[in-house]
Amino acid sequence: MRKVACIGAGMTLFRRRMLETPKEMCWEAAAMALDQAGLTIADVDAVVFGSAPDAFDGIHMKGENVLDGCGGTGKPYVRVFTGGGTAVFSPIAAYWHVASGTFDCVLVVNEEKMSSCQPHAQSVFGYIWDPILDRPLKPNLVWIFAMEMNRYMTVHNIRYEDVAAVAVKNKRNAVAHPCAQLPDPNITVEDVMNSEVMAWPVHRLDISPPSDGASALVICSQDFIKRKKVKSPPVWFSGVGWAIDTTFWTDRDLVFPEYLARAAKMAYKQARIDNPRKQIDFAEPYDPFDYKELHHMEGLLLCKKGEAPKLTREGVTQRDGDLPTCPSGGLLGVGNPIAATMGIKVGELYWQLSGQAGKRQIPHEVHTGVTNAWGDLMQFSAVAVMRA
């Protein structure tokens, strides 16, 4: 397979409500990524678009609706969809477009507009549940997280303040992100612990906000960089992986995401990583809820089962720590326009590893980063390892 790099990234502000239409947001992010790479749309061979359920926008087959804003007109164009996992999965789709030799340069655009859904995006989250087994119980999506968080905390005997510390770290990190929706330089563990109980053990400040936003990446081959004399610094994809577990989610132990461990092992094998904790310098684990960062650090095999809260407590995961996690500010701080969080996951790996993260730049040497995104009915994960 050919070597594949990211050579540019772009994103819009993440906000509760945006003036721009989905198509306009796509264009803003895509144009910025192309500008950064020093390219125009004419240099792009194919386009990959990623977005979460159509029901948020209320536009069925929204891939076609936003096509023009993604620069896909007249080109090979495809939409991929793995729920929240799309944030890392659509760049993987672009990766295989290029690694296979089918295309030299691919533009990836991810977009989400959750403000269109009234009165709250929560009501259409209800449509992901099984219609026979689950929906008669009138479930709320927060229940999933509450049940998983309780199982995780109880089995490993984890204190709530160690979970809340993740929300504090990420919302503080987000102060340095120019697109952030919920940065807070002064937030404390007490603020999180004293926030409203939504579905115990989940409190309001444990949750990332619904957001509007778009992000884009330019992904290309090594040959393309030489041929086009690309000046923008490349960051290489060294391993990718993805896996999904059964839809019968009440048949497995929620304490550990086995599907993520499987996806991580696939990516690490390709990246020749046999000791993730030593060989990986920083991570952007998917953090729609604070405990999910801990859950995903363990699923990514960055620590032992139940050990992630200890690393957080000891400051290891701070931006200047030994294993910074979510230096972007994550979904908790920057916002959660589901698929568009690509900009703070794979996008952050790109900006950190190419030294373009500005005030967010990790203050010591980093060569290798890993990120994951998680989706569907808490059963899917996509993983990408990138190197400078």
Partner 1 sequence: MGRPHAVQRRGGDARMTPEKWPGVELSAKEFYEKVTSVKFRPEAKFAWSAGEAMSRFLAELQDGRLIARTCRTCKRILFPPRMFCEECFRPTSEWVYVKDTGTIETYSISYLDLDARRIEEPIYVGVVSVDGASPKMGMMHYFGEVTPETIKIGLRVKAVWEPPEKRVGSVRDIRYWRPLREGER
Nearer to partner 1 among residue 171 and residue 203 (C-beta): 203
**DSSP calls for 318-365:** STTSSS-B-TT-HHHHH-B-GGGGGGGTHHHHHHHHTT--GGG--SS-
Question: Rule CB under 8 A: is residue 388 a binding residue for partner 1?
Answer: yes
Question: Rule CB under 8 A: is residue 283 a binding residue for partner 1?
Answer: no
Footprint on residues 300-329 left by partner 1 (CB under 8 A): none
> Would strands 105-113 and 380-387 be described as parallel, antiparallel, or unpaired?
unpaired
Question: Minimum distance from CB of 26 to partner 1 (Å)?
Answer: 11
Footprint on residues 163-192 left by partner 1 (CB under 8 A): 178-179
Assigned token pair, 95: 């990766």
Question: Rule CB under 8 A: is residue 280 a binding residue for partner 1?
Answer: no
Residue in the block written with tokens 């809260």: 309
Question: Minimum distance from CB of 100 to partner 1 (Å)?
Answer: 28
Of 68, 101, 133, 227, the residue at the interface with partner 1 (CB under 8 A) is 133
Footprint on residues 100-119 left by partner 1 (CB under 8 A): 115, 118-119
CA dist 359 and 59 (Å) reads 37
- Quick one: residue 38, left, alpha or beta (phi over 0 = left, psi -120 to 50 = alpha)? left
Question: Minimum distance from CB of 17 to partner 1 (Å)?
Answer: 4
Nearer to partner 1 among residue 159 and residue 313 (C-beta): 159
**Torsion angles phi and psi, residue 47, rounded to 5:** -130, 135
Candidates 102-110, 144-152, 184-192, 284-292; binding stretch for partner 1 (CB under 8 A): 144-152
Candidates 19-27, 258-266, 269-277, 371-379; binding stretch for partner 1 (CB under 8 A): 19-27
Assigned token pair, 190: 């007490």
Footprint on residues 200-219 left by partner 1 (CB under 8 A): 200-202, 212-213
DSSP-assigned beta bridge partners for residue 10: 216
The closest alpha carbon to 218, from 208, 205, 207, 231, belongs to 231
Candidates 71-79, 304-312, 359-367, 373-381; binding stretch for partner 1 (CB under 8 A): 359-367
**Exposure string (b/e) for 42-59, b if CB count within 10 Å is 16 or more?**
ebbbbbbbbbbbebbbeb
Question: Rule CB under 8 A: is residue 262 a binding residue for partner 1?
Answer: no
Question: Rule CB under 8 A: is residue 36 a binding residue for partner 1?
Answer: yes
Distant-in-sequence, close-in-space partners of 181: CB < 8 Å, separation ≥ 6: 13, 14, 15, 16, 209, 211, 333, 334, 335
Question: Rule CB under 8 A: is residue 131 a binding residue for partner 1?
Answer: yes
**Torsion angles phi and psi, residue 80, rounded to 5:** -115, 155
Question: Rule CB under 8 A: is residue 126 a binding residue for partner 1?
Answer: yes
Footprint on residues 52-71 left by partner 1 (CB under 8 A): 58
CA dist 130 and 65 (Å) reads 28
Question: Rule CB under 8 A: is residue 43 a binding residue for partner 1?
Answer: no
Nearer to partner 1 among residue 102 and residue 123 (C-beta): 123
Question: Minimum distance from CB of 76 to partner 1 (Å)?
Answer: 26
CA dist 61 and 77 (Å) reads 13
Question: Rule CB under 8 A: is residue 123 a binding residue for partner 1?
Answer: yes
